[in-house]
């Protein structure tokens, strides 16, 4: 790689990208600062001095002219155009329907009642622009749905309860009411009203609080509580009526929005992104099309993005990682003109269906990240969410963010779990051929490659699922503070009129802020000089005295003193100006920490980030950002966690050295390095400089090795490195060394960052630290570019959405290499950088898992989100197996040691092929099981990392076992699990075949049994099935029909059982078990293992899962199914689902 950078000609043939290596460089050059800041490298000092004035004059003229041409397309004078206001549709008519035959149905009017109470309590209704819901017309609905289907739904207005129930039972997980059609039309029309308002410039963004939900509804099919697909209709409506060319739909409901996906999966004008619970197809809607491998068809290939979660308990860190690593990069290349969100809140902690652990603050973060797209044109449409408190607080948090309130800090941000990392890796691999922005450097990280079961073991994270905190939102008199003092112009070069660091830098910025009306929107704060105690927190007393002495020096003495430092000039007022710049910054810190303002801008000079503890350097005297950081910690009374981001094109050597042993300050610098030959020279800015002692890992350097770095490179660094580390660090204050010499047109930087680019970088940082962020001017030497760039950043701090950003090219390969090098160095310190690269993607492919073919008639009581029998079988094909999550208890006749081998022909796999098989899914008493049903077999990282990656015996599978494509979209042919289980009691086991099968069990295969709660593979039911000429393996664990410890089961308490009861030790709400002896409730092994501890302390053997109602015996190390247990199971089933178990025998 050369210092001139890499070309940007990247194509679909990138698989053979060359890996550029850094050439060796002369240590005599990089070991010391041998050139002045801004000087031509390796010119002799005399020649450089002679040419300096002429060169700087010429550069200023040329770059100024070029920049003016480049900025012609950017209209920052948008004061009259800036939109404000958040629209809200909330209509009481939407509560006029409910399930007539099941009062406990989860989707009911109480959902909107809870939301309304929360919004009134927080005063949000009055802050929004209210819109009346309107009916969606048939010609609008027909943009997505068939006329025949719409007409059928219309007739439901005139049906009686019996007719409604019969029709509802022909669909999956729905109910119908005479008002269902009217309310669904109102719901769709509500979103369309907001589309008109946003695209008609009435408001900036909006939220539709509506029901019924819509994202499962398909062209001619109700599904999953949904009649009409509101966001799909809105997308088509925006395109047809408003001429929108590109729409982004983000679906964060915990269920996959298959209806939306199927609507647009061949359309490149709509980018569909869904992040949902999948569990290898075991979670509703059980579709192969919900997996990462489905990316669209035809021209729409690459425009469908699925991030499937394969375990429960996913947290904010997992969701944020998906946005940073996948969604935001692709969206920046797609450039949407409108963003629609299918905003379900069933992934929140406490939701009975989602079983996830996201928080309202996390959804505020997701909303904030989306507000940077499409010029802020964002509409949220309510989908699911069935815990009333979680739902109300999630909606409130997102609405606060839409209104411009800062995002609350995350209580336990952490890093993405291993399961999330694997899902994201697979999604990225599937999408990379279609999106240039996702191309990764060829400098791969060996430790990040996962192959087979050789997964690097991570320590268990000491994190407990949080109870929902009470969020607080600051009440501010002013949003953005501004410090500026004209006296700072008194520092100037007495000998060189063309020196780049001129007084006009700050005056021109201030003039531009005033011209655009931005200064008057800020709170202008008084300034003061920094005090000596403040300066001494970062500088030595001797150095402060030395600079103070320059106030009385003569011109010749000043020249000599300046020459004693690197790239420094000094005049009589330098000391006073430097103190004023630092003191003004401290004033702004005080205002932010006191809550007087939320954020701020410091238009100060001279700059500071090169200043060392005892030396001036690179135009800098006192390190303003460092002193400000120490001042913040001093007035807060503790070691405040502070993130310093330095985007000046030069490395902030002074800031790095001051904090390199301090773990309370995270310093991240992005700068030109050019293999150590760019100012400040040497290796201080190399990626391998990570800090010392306690500060190791808290110095992060992204070292660009050439010019031409622009928006694409900086955004890539933000998404892949800066923000993941920042969220994991979870700062309480963000300080930005905001040099603008990486801006387009700067004579020293040679880079191409646009004002729009700086605005987006600022917006992304504003999600941190509850929005407490301060930008402090450092470098930047083109007066036009620094003025426009600072204006763009200030506008963003004031709450205006960043302007739309067009990336002219993908990131340069040299930049990707630099980012990858830094990631490789820092992955040992930051878990968020340990994204696994799964070589054998087929091991996680959805084609291996049983999926439903077509929607079947369903009892609404079974409801969306209740995992069925289809998910309880482990399917092995293409050399991989995946462990079933739970146990079927429908075969009491079989003992623990039985192993059955079943051979089915292709004909036998069709419906009706087994005349003796009459068992249906409804006959299984525990068909609502989900992954993680046992105390020691929860949805853990180990379960995903081990059980999913175990190879079957080579003889049992081949490389060509992929089943034929199904003619039904999003489905795959399969053998009915009920038929497989139904014939098992009639089988006669061949002892020789059984012995032979046991003899082939490898050590790896026995992990299946260990992951399944202690039973080994030979304690399971083994079934073989043939499809076409190929084989597939099925495994399931059979419960014991009896155990000697059943006598320990005690009568059920009079109060009954409460399946929502938290763990009595830690308060966890997921994966809880009830002891059948004392009826105390504790969490499972992969939460905090309190039930296991209870067993060890009490000796009570039998426990009942509140997840899938299975029973585990610790003494037998097996599941048990017996008549003695049915009373407890039935009462728990009533409490969980509002009805008796389908069969109690």
The conformational region for residue 294 under phi > 0 = left, psi -120 to 50 = alpha, else beta, is beta
For residue 760, indicate whether it is catalytic: no
| Apex 246 CA angle, 244 and 251, nearest 5 | 115
Annotated catalytic residue within 145, 255, 286, 610:
610
Question: What is the spatial distance between Cα 150 and Cα 141, in angstroms, rounded to a whole number?
Answer: 8
Q: How many CB atoms lie within 10 A of CB 684?
A: 21
Half-sphere exposure at residue 672, Cβ-oriented, CA atoms within 13 angstroms: 28
Question: What is the spatial distance between Cα 323 and Cα 333, in angstroms, rounded to a whole number?
Answer: 14
Nearest to 846 by CA among 877, 868, 879: 877
CB 593 within 8 A of CB 632: yes
Half-sphere exposure at residue 416, Cβ-oriented, CA atoms within 13 angstroms: 26
Q: Which helix (H) or strand (E) holds 306?
A: strand 304-309
In the chain, what is the straight-line distance between the N-terminal and C-terminal CA atoms, in Å? 72
Determine the angle formed by the axes of helices 180-199 and 147-155, rounding to 10 degrees: 130
Residue for token pair 């520092």: 491
CB 726 within 8 A of CB 719: no
Residue for token pair 């800062």: 406
Residue for token pair 């080579």: 954
Judge residue 247's burial from the number of C-beta atoms within 10 Å of its C-beta, 0-12 exposed, 13-18 middle, 19 or more buried: buried
- For 568-635, give the secondary structure using H, E and C: CCCCCCHHHHHHHHHHHHHHHHHHHHCCCCCEEEECCCCCCCCCECCECECCECCCHHHHHHHHHHHH
Nearest to 927 by CA among 890, 893, 974: 890
For residue 609, indicate whether it is catalytic: no
CB 798 within 8 A of CB 84: no
Question: What is the spatial distance between Cα 789 and Cα 511, in angstroms, rounded to a whole number?
Answer: 13
- The pair of structure tokens assigned to 1038 is 């059979």
Question: What is the spatial distance between Cα 930 and Cα 885, in angstroms, rounded to a whole number?
Answer: 6
Question: What is the spatial distance between Cα 1033 and Cα 1022, in angstroms, rounded to a whole number?
Answer: 8
Annotated catalytic residue within 216, 400, 675, 826:
216
- Radius of gyration of the chain, Cα coordinates, nearest whole angstrom: 32
User: Sheet holding 1020-1027: strands in order across?
Assistant: 874-876, 1030-1037, 1020-1027
Determine the angle formed by the axes of helices 388-402 and 110-121, rounding to 10 degrees: 50
Question: What is the spatial distance between Cα 597 and Cα 522, in angstroms, rounded to a whole number?
Answer: 9
Question: What is the spatial distance between Cα 711 and Cα 761, in angstroms, rounded to a whole number?
Answer: 9
| Apex 12 CA angle, 9 and 15, nearest 5 | 95
Q: Which helix (H) or strand (E) holds 379?
A: strand 378-382
The conformational region for residue 675 under phi > 0 = left, psi -120 to 50 = alpha, else beta, is left
DSSP-derived 3-state class of residue 1131: helix
Q: In the chain, what are the helix, strand and coil shares in percent, each to the nearest 5?
A: 40, 10, 50
Q: Work out whether strand 1118-1119 and strand 1111-1113 pair parallel, antiparallel, or are unpaired.
A: antiparallel
Judge residue 121's burial from the number of C-beta atoms within 10 Å of its C-beta, 0-12 exposed, 13-18 middle, 19 or more buried: exposed
User: Could you please report the per-residue DSSP string of 96-130?
Assistant: S---SS-TT-SSSTHHHHHHHHHHHHTT-GGGSEE
* Catalytic center residues: 216, 610
């Amino acid at each position: 790689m050369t210092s001139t950078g890499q070309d940007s000609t990247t194509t679909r043939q990138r698989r053979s990208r060359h890996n550029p290596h850094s050439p060796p460089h002369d240590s005599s050059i990089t070991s010391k600062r041998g050139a002045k800041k801004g000087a031509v490298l390796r010119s002799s000092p005399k020649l450089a001095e002679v040419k300096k004035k002429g060169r700087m004059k010429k550069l200023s003229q040329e770059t100024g002219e070029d920049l003016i041409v480049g900025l012609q397309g950017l209209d920052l004078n948008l004061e009259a155009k800036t939109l404000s206001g958040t629209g809200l549709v909330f209509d009481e008519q939407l509560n006029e329907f409910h399930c007539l035959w099941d009062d406990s149905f989860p989707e009911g009017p109480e959902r909107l009642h809870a939301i309304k109470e929360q919004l009134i309590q927080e005063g949000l209704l009055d802050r929004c622009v209210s819109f009346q819901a309107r009916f969606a017309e048939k010609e609008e609905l027909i943009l997505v749905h068939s006329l025949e289907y719409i007409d059928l739904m219309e007739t439901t207005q005139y049906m009686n309860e019996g007719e409604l129930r019969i029709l509802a039972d022909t669909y999956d997980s729905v109910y119908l009411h005479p008002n269902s059609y009217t309310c669904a039309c109102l719901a769709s029309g509500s979103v369309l009203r907001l589309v008109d308002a946003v695209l008609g410039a009435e408001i900036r963004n909006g939220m539709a609080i509506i029901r019924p939900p819509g994202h499962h509804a398909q062209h001619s099919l109700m599904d999953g509580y949904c009649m009409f697909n509101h966001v799909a209709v809105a997308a088509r409506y925006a395109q047809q009526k408003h001429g929108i060319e590109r729409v982004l739909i983000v679906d964060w409901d915990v269920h996959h929005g298959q209806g939306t996906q199927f609507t647009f999966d061949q359309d490149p004008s709509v980018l569909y992104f869904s992040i949902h619970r999948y569990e290898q197809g075991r979670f509703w809607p059980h579709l192969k099309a919900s997996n990462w491998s489905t990316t669209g068809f035809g021209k729409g290939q690459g425009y469908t993005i699925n991030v499937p979660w394969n375990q429960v308990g996913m947290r904010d860190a997992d969701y944020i990682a998906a946005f940073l690593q996948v969604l935001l990069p692709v969206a920046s290349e797609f450039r949407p003109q409108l963003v629609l969100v299918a905003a379900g809140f069933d992934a929140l902690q406490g939701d009975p269906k989602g079983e996830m652990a996201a928080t309202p603050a996390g959804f505020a973060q997701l909303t904030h990240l989306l507000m940077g797209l499409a010029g802020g044109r964002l509409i949220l449409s309510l989908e699911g969410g069935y815990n009333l408190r979680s739902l109300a607080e999630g909606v409130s948090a997102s609405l606060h963010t839409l209104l411009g309130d800062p995002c609350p800090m995350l209580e336990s941000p952490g890093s993405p779990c291993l399961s999330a990392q694997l899902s994201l890796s697979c999604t990225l691999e599937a999408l990379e051929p279609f999106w240039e922005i996702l191309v990764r450097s060829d400098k791969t990280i060996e430790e990040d490659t996962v192959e087979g079961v050789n997964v690097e073991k991570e320590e268990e994270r000491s994190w407990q699922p949080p109870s929902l905190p009470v969020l607080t939102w600051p009440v501010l008199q002013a949003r953005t503070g501004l410090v500026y003092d004209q006296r700072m112009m008194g520092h100037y070069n007495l000998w060189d009129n063309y020196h780049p660091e001129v007084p006009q830098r700050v005056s021109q910025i201030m003039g531009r802020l005033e011209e655009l009306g931005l200064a008057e929107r800020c709170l202008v704060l008084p300034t003061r000089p920094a005090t000596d105690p403040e300066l001494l927190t970062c500088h030595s007393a001797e150095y402060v005295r030395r600079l103070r002495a320059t106030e009385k020096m003569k011109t010749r003495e000043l020249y000599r003193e300046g020459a004693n430092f690197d790239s420094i000039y000094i005049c009589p007022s330098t000391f006073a100006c430097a103190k004023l710049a630092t003191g003004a910054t401290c004033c702004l810190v005080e205002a932010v920490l006191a809550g007087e303002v939320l954020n701020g801008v410091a238009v100060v000079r001279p700059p500071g980030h090169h200043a060392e503890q005892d030396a001036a350097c690179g135009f800098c005297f006192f390190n303003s950002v460092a002193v400000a950081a120490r001042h913040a910690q001093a007035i807060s009374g503790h070691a405040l966690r502070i993130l310093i981001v330095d985007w000046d094109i030069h490395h902030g050597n002074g800031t790095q050295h001051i904090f390199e042993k301090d773990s309370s300050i995270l310093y991240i610098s992005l700068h030109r390095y050019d293999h150590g030959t760019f100012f400040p020279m040497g290796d201080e800015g190399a990626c391998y400089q990570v800090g010392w002692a306690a500060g190791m890992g808290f110095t992060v350097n992204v070292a660009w090795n050439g010019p031409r770095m622009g928006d694409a490179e900086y955004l890539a660094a933000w998404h892949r490195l800066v923000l993941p580390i920042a969220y994991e660090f979870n700062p309480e204050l963000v300080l930005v060394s905001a040099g603008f010499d990486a801006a387009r047109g700067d004579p020293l930087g040679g880079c191409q960052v646009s004002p729009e680019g700086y605005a987006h970088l600022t917006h992304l940082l504003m999600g941190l630290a509850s929005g407490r962020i301060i930008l402090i001017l450092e470098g930047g030497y083109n007066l036009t570019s620094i003025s426009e760039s600072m204006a763009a950043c200030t506008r963003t701090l004031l709450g205006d959405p960043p302007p739309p950003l067009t990336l002219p090219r993908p990131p340069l390969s040299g930049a990707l290499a630099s980012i990858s090098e830094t990631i490789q160095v820092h992955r040992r310190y930051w878990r968020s950088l340990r994204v696994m690269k799964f070589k054998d993607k087929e091991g996680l492919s959805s084609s291996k898992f049983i999926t439903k073919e077509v929607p079947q008639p369903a009892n609404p009581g079974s409801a969306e989100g209740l995992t069925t029998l289809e998910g309880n079988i482990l399917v092995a094909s293409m050399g991989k197996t995946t462990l079933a999550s739970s146990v079927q208890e429908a075969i009491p006749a079989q003992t623990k040691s039985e192993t059955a081998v079943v051979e089915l022909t292709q004909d036998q796999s069709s419906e009706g092929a087994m005349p003796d098989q009459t068992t249906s899914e409804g006959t299984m008493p525990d068909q609502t099981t989900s992954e993680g049903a046992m105390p020691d077999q929860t949805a853990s990282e180990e379960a995903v990392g081990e059980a999913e990656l175990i190879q079957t015996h080579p003889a049992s599978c081949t490389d060509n076992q992929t089943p034929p494509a199904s003619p039904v979209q999003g489905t795959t042919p399969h053998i009915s699990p009920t038929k497989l289980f139904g014939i098992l009691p009639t089988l006669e086991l061949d002892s020789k075949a059984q012995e032979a099968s046991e003899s082939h069990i490898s050590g790896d295969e026995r992990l299946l049994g260990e992951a399944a709660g202690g039973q080994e593979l030979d304690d399971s039911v083994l079934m073989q099935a043939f499809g076409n000429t190929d084989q597939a393996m099925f495994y399931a664990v059979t419960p014991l029909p009896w155990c000697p410890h059943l006598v320990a089961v005690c009568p059920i308490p009079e109060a009954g059982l409460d399946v929502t009861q938290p763990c009595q030790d830690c308060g966890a709400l997921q994966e809880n078990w009830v002891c059948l002896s004392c009826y105390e409730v504790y969490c499972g092994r992969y939460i905090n293992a309190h039930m296991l501890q209870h067993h060890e302390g009490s000796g009570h053997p039998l426990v009942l899962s509140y997840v899938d109602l299975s029973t585990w015996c610790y003494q037998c190390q097996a599941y048990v199914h017996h008549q003695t247990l049915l009373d407890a199971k039935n009462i728990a089933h009533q409490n969980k689902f509002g009805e008796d178990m389908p069969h109690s025998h």
